[in-house]
Amino acid sequence: MNTTTVRRTATALAALSLSALALTACGSDSSDSAAPKPSDKASSSAAPKAKESASGGSSSGDTSSAGSSSGGSTGGAEPASSSGSSGGSKSGGSSGGQTEGDVHPCRTSQLAFKVTQVSRPINHALITATNTSGTACRVPLKAPVVTFGAIDGQAQPMGPGTSSETALETGKSAYAGVRLSRADSSGGQSVTGINIALSAGDKAVTAKLAGQTTINDPQVTVFFASAADALAY
């Protein structure tokens, strides 16, 4: 082997050695860059925890908010329902009709009067007073004022009276009995009609009798709800 060949071989070996060293150094740098640094690992592990914590807070907040909304809705609805129910109950008692306190006393002009002479009791007549006013009213506790044409004075009260006023709806009637004359007396004056008013201050209404009728010591009851009660005296 000559000197030139030896030199070339040595040069080639040296080049190969340098290449190997360079490759080793590159591999070491790449490995170092790929390995996570302690600070990077801590940051990476902390991130998921922070994310989980944030996620948990949002869920809790949503639940609290939903609970508050539900409670507010329920709390708001109950008073409204109670108020509505109370209002409906009070208006219904109102039931739409008039209460006893709302029914005013009847006036003579609100009633239509009819007088019917009856066979029993003898010498009696029945006054029927019908409400034609279109609104309910109460007939008075006192007996009506009954007079007879030109005859002085008025019929005197008869019977025990009543402790409660008779309420008349439209179209309903109340009844009073009139004793025209005493059965055991003679004389008297004849009339063809009687005058009726609910009180002395009202304008009287004249109701016709069947014909000439003798009046002697007349008496009248208060108004009753039935004709039978009115003719019981």
Above 90 in pLDDT, residue 165? no
In Å, how far from its chain's centre is CA 182? 58
- Is the pLDDT assigned to residue 102 strictly greater than 60? yes
> Residue 96: pLDDT above 50?
no
In 75-95, which positions are buried (b, 16+ CB within 10 angstroms) versus exposed (e)? eeeeeeeeeeeeeeeeeeeee
pLDDT above 70 coverage of the chain, percent: 57
User: By the 8 A CB rule, do 142 and 154 touch?
Assistant: no
- Percentage of residues in the chain with pLDDT exceeding 90? 49
| Residue 127 banded pLDDT, cuts 50, 70, 90 | very high
Prediction pTM value: 0.57
* pLDDT for residue 160: 86
For tokens 């329902």, name the residue: 81
What is the model's pLDDT at position 13? 54
Angle (CA) 167-170-173 rounded to 5° is: 60
What integer pLDDT is reported at residue 15 of this predicted model? 53
**What is the distance between the alpha carbons of residues 233 and 221, in angstroms, rounded to a whole number?**
8
State the average pLDDT over residues 129-147. 96
Task: Using alpha carbons, select from 221, 160, 148 the residue that is nearest to residue 188.
Answer: 148
* 120 has pLDDT over 90: yes
| pLDDT-derived band at 195, boundaries 50, 70, 90 | very high
Residue 45, judged by CB atoms within 10 A of its CB (0-12, 13-18, 19+), counts as exposed
**Cα Rg for the chain, rounded, in angstroms?**
57
- Residue 150 DSSP code: T
Q: Which residue has the higher pLDDT, 203 or 102?
A: 203
Most confident of 12-26, 52-66, 138-152: 138-152
Residue 212 has pLDDT above 50, yes or no: yes
What is the pLDDT at residue 66? 38
